[in-house]
């Protein structure tokens, strides 16, 4: 058997790198994905639903708001409804969480805003389609006919392979794994040094000792899978 290292981009946006990698027509029996998991094997990862919630209005001088249509107000109403909704929860992997990651709109404080939009991400513990459908319902009910919802990408939670001898956990983040066309009987593993709770913030770091340990761990995992298959 062969071992290969695949480097991809776009995992945090639209998974374009892993999607493009499918053109290579690789058929691995095993896939080890490196993400910060506190040096534990993850048995399950949350799914994801990325949305753009957009609103259209009509700009005018804010001294005469009756001459325009405010785009921001209905968007805020929809986002409030999304935040107030009770989303699915799961005993094994926890609750659905929602993050309004980007919010933009308007031209100036003295202008009734013509357009506004928000980038919204759900960390899913259930299938994405019912959640998307509920967001669309909330937009229709609260958006005054001005708000649309567009799906960027989505996938359900993923159950992952594990092996004896390693600590096991579940993770509340998503990875490229569901965007890679693997054979039906292939196994995907998720393992890496560092903590995801240190990512995307001022203190982001991984200990050098953990990085050094991970080199040996990855070699040991690969050797075990190639020789024993589990």
96 contacts: CB under 8 Å, gap ≥ 6: 87, 88, 89, 122, 123, 124, 125, 126, 131
Single pTM value for the model: 0.92
Per-residue pLDDT, 12: 86
Tokens of 190: 């998720």
CA-nearest of 20, 94, 103, 92 to 55 is 103
Per-residue pLDDT, 188: 97
* Residues 123, 154: Cα–Cα separation, whole Å: 10
Catalytic annotation, pick one of 11, 85, 137, 223: 11
Mean pLDDT for each 10-residue chunk of the chain (230 residues)?
88 92 95 96 97 98 98 98 98 97 98 98 98 98 98 97 95 96 95 95 94 95 90
First to last CA, the chain: 15
12 is catalytic: no
Task: Report all structural domains of the chain as residue ranges with CATH numbers, in order of start.
Answer: 16-45+157-227 (3.40.630.10), 47-155 (3.30.70.360)
CA-nearest of 21, 149, 9, 25 to 82 is 149
* Residues 42, 192: Cα–Cα separation, whole Å: 10
């Amino acid at each position: 058997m062969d071992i290969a290292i695949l480097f991809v981009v776009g995992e945090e946006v639209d998974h374009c790198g892993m999607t493009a990698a499918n053109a290579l027509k690789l058929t691995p029996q095993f896939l080890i994905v490196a993400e910060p998991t506190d040096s534990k094997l993850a048995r399950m990862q949350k799914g994801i639903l990325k949305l753009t919630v957009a609103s259209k209005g009509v700009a005018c001088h804010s001294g005469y708001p009756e001459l325009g249509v405010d785009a921001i107000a209905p968007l805020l109403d929809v986002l409030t409804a999304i935040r107030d909704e009770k989303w699915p929860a799961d005993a094994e992997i926890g609750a659905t969480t929602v993050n309004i990651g980007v919010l933009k709109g308007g031209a100036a404080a003295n202008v009734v805003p013509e357009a506004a939009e928000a980038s919204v991400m759900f960390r899913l513990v259930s299938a994405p389609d019912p959640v998307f459908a509920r967001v669309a319902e909330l937009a229709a009910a609260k958006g005054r006919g001005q708000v649309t919802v567009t799906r960027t990408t989505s996938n359900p939670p993923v159950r992952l392979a594990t092996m004896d001898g390693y600590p096991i956990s579940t993770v509340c983040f998503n990875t490229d794994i569901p965007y890679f066309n693997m054979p039906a009987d292939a196994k995907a593993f998720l393992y890496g040094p560092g903590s995801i709770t240190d990512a995307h913030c001022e203190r982001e770091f991984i200990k050098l000792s953990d990085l050094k340990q991970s080199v040996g761990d990855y070699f040991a995992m690969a050797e075990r899978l190639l020789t024993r298959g589990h």
